[in-house]
Amino acid sequence: MPTTIDPDEIRRLYDSAAGVIKPTIYTDEAIFRAELDQIFARTWVLLCPEQQIPRPGDFFNTYVGADRVMVVRQKDGSVKGLLNQCRHRGNELERADFGNRKMFACSYHGWAYDLAGNLRSVPREELSFPDGFDKSAWGCRSMAQVDTYKGLVFGTWDPTAPPLADYLGDGAWYADIFLDRWDDGQQLMGGVSKWIIKANWKLIVEQFTYDLLHAENAHPAAFLASVPPDFDRSQMKLPSNGVQFSSPSGHGAGLWQDKGPVLDVVAGPEGRDHWRASYPEVERRLGTARADVSVVTVNLFPTCAMFDPTRQLRTVHPVGPDESEIWAWNFVPACASDEVKRSWSVNTIRAFGAGGLFEADDSTMWRGIQRTLRGTIGRSTPMAVAMGHRYSEGPSPDFPGRVADLTSEMSARGFYDRWLDLLTCETWADIDQAAKARFAEGARV
């Protein structure tokens, strides 16, 4: 049975209008279980890049919430998401992280399934089921909907969830800054990197909805240690001009619009030069407003995060109330030279890999928050997410959706508004109505 919590109890934990969060949302086991049931079991979740499964029979093992899922390229080129669980005794059907198979055979008792998850073989079937056995009723559980967007595979267990295009909404416009820059597309460098962090999943992905302000406090040493030799250190000043975006669906983005050291640090000289030289191409594809963005972080609710010019895609898997697993893929322009690709990828790993300089800073902050919540007083002390002026939140001629300047926490509130809707509403119609009511009333997003 799904984990249910009294909606009124949940609403007392987050006050959007006042911008106040009670830390229980990051520590309570019942809330975590409700998130698995009511968020991860019915929203669209990033499964993997398509380049991870290019050929029929290719599979990639991932998680949706706490459920193990195999993303499988079918013979006709379509993609399925299959629960990685044998229907006999529940053993994990495929242990490998990725590979290519013609069939999936359970190592426990040998039940075998085709690429679509249909049960095809049961050893000693005639002896085990002398009265017959309907194998068609015992195939793998399949995700209700699987779809792709510009090279990314998403899936949902909920057949009533809106189509992916509707779910992404204006968030896709911002994601395209990362996904759709170049005519020849982007190339995945290597596979997926994974690491564990002792922090709640929301603390991690919330940062990608908007928070570029933390960089000047959290990362000064990392910037100084990472700038290339040809960088003019007199220009060592982080950008201050930018906007953030918030969606009724909980998506968010933060954008810097003036230059700073980030491009030099995370792309290196070779990547920096390619980035600047490709400006006319990017402007033609995305328009001036997006081409002028120097740094963008995007989170597509709940856990699909992107960061440019780092060229890194992430998903965050919830392990427990106080533990998460980060998975990251690094991309480079497909049209770039091998030297640029290698340099850009290496610099990204140095900056934001599992042991990267900037990643170490962020991880320290996330773990530090979680540590403060271990005590009785820490768990009961409200946290503020109230920055920003309502009059600055609204439409923009250059950016779709609701936008504000970077000193606001509008996008964080939008993230938690969607979190609240999913935990307190029974149907997608109810969820959408709650979001529309907030926007119509002009409430904080």
CB 190 within 8 A of CB 213: no
What SS3 class is residue 305? strand
CB 221 within 8 A of CB 215: no
What pLDDT shows up at residue 413? 95
> Is position 294 within any domain?
yes
Q: Confidence band (pLDDT; 50, 70, 90) for 230?
A: confident
Q: Calculate mean pLDDT across residues 429-435.
A: 93
Report the CATH number that the domain containing residue 124 is assigned in CATH: 2.102.10.10
Beta bridge partners, 77, equal none
> Is position 184 within any domain?
yes
Q: Is pLDDT of 442 > 90? A: no
Both 399 and 254 in a single domain?
yes
CA–CA distances in Å: residue 379 to residues 83, 128, 224, 309, 369: 35, 54, 36, 36, 11
| Residue that wins the pLDDT comparison between 229 and 78 | 78
| Residue that wins the pLDDT comparison between 241 and 47 | 47
Q: Confidence band (pLDDT; 50, 70, 90) for 226?
A: confident
Kindly state the percentage of the chain with pLDDT values over 90.
78
Q: Highest mean pLDDT range out of 81-85, 122-126, 224-228, 262-266?
A: 81-85
> Is position 195 within any domain?
yes
Tens of pLDDT, residue by residue over 298-330, are 999 999 999 999 999 999 999 999 999 999 999
Both 136 and 30 in a single domain?
no
How many CB atoms neighbour CB 260 within 10 A?
A: 19
What pLDDT shows up at residue 236? 64
Both 183 and 248 in a single domain?
yes
> Is position 422 within any domain?
yes
Report the CATH number that the domain containing residue 216 is assigned in CATH: 3.90.380.10
β-pairing, 323-333 vs 312-320, is antiparallel
Q: Is pLDDT of 231 > 90? A: no
**Cα(30)–Cα(177) distance, rounded to whole angstroms?**
37
Both 20 and 133 in a single domain?
no
**Cα(391)–Cα(307) distance, rounded to whole angstroms?**
28
Both 303 and 433 in a single domain?
yes
Task: Determine which of 69-83, 123-137, 276-290 has the lowest per-residue pLDDT on average.
Answer: 123-137
Both 16 and 130 in a single domain?
no
**Cα(151)–Cα(234) distance, rounded to whole angstroms?**
39
The first and second tokens of residue 116, run together, are 């679509």
Q: Calculate mean pLDDT across residues 331-356.
A: 94
> Is position 321 within any domain?
yes
Both 132 and 181 in a single domain?
no
Q: Calculate mean pLDDT across residues 254-277.
A: 86
CB 94 within 8 A of CB 75: no
> Is position 430 within any domain?
yes
What pLDDT shows up at residue 239? 66
- DSSP H or E stretch at residue 301: none
- DSSP H or E stretch at residue 57: none
Q: How many residues does the chain have?
A: 445
| Residue that wins the pLDDT comparison between 136 and 257 | 136
Both 30 and 56 in a single domain?
no
Tens of pLDDT, residue by residue over 169-201, are 999 999 999 999 999 999 999 999 999 999 999
> Is position 258 within any domain?
yes
> Is position 159 within any domain?
no
- Of the candidates 272, 305, 304, 275, the one whose C-alpha atom is nearest the C-alpha of residue 291 is 275
Both 123 and 227 in a single domain?
no
Tens of pLDDT, residue by residue over 397-428, are 899 999 998 889 999 999 999 999 999 999 99
CB 248 within 8 A of CB 439: yes
Q: Residue 15 is which amino acid?
A: D
Q: What is the largest CA-CA distance in the chain?
A: 82
Question: b/e for 156-171, b at 16 or more Cβ within 10 A?
Answer: bbeeebbebeebbbbb
What's the domain count of the chain? Answer: 2
Q: Calculate mean pLDDT across residues 49-68.
A: 98
Q: Torsions phi, psi of 227, nearest 5? A: -65, 140
Q: Confidence band (pLDDT; 50, 70, 90) for 1?
A: very low
What SS3 class is residue 171? helix
Both 189 and 310 in a single domain?
yes
Range of the domain at 105: 51-149
Both 131 and 228 in a single domain?
no
Helices first, then strands: H and E counts in the chain: 16, 21
What is the per-residue DSSP string for 365-420? HHHHHHHHTSSHHHHTS-EE---S-GGG-B--SSS-SEEEETT--HHHHHHHHHHH
Domain boundary among 101, 116, 149: 149
CB 39 within 8 A of CB 10: no
DSSP H stretches of helix in 57-170: 125-128, 164-168
What is the four-CA torsion angle of 252, 254, 257, 261, rounded to 10 degrees? -150
Question: b/e for 5-44, b at 16 or more Cβ within 10 A?
Answer: beeeebeebbbbeebebbbbbbbbeebbbbbbbbbbbbbb
What SS3 class is residue 5? coil
Q: Report the half-sphere exposure of 417 (CA within 13 A, side-chain side).
A: 30
Kindly state the percentage of the chain with pLDDT values over 70.
95
Task: Determine which of 98-102, 195-199, 214-218, 250-254 has the lowest per-residue pLDDT on average.
Answer: 214-218
Q: Residue 176 is which amino acid?
A: D
Q: Calculate mean pLDDT across residues 206-232.
A: 79
Both 259 and 237 in a single domain?
yes
- Which are the contacts of 180, defined by CB distance < 8 A and separation ≥ 6? 150, 285, 286
Tens of pLDDT, residue by residue over 20-58, are 999 999 999 999 999 999 999 999 999 999 999 999 999
Q: Give the mean pLDDT of the chain.
A: 92
What pLDDT shows up at residue 234? 66
- Which are the contacts of 421, defined by CB distance < 8 A and separation ≥ 6? 430, 431, 434, 435
Q: Is pLDDT of 224 > 50? A: yes
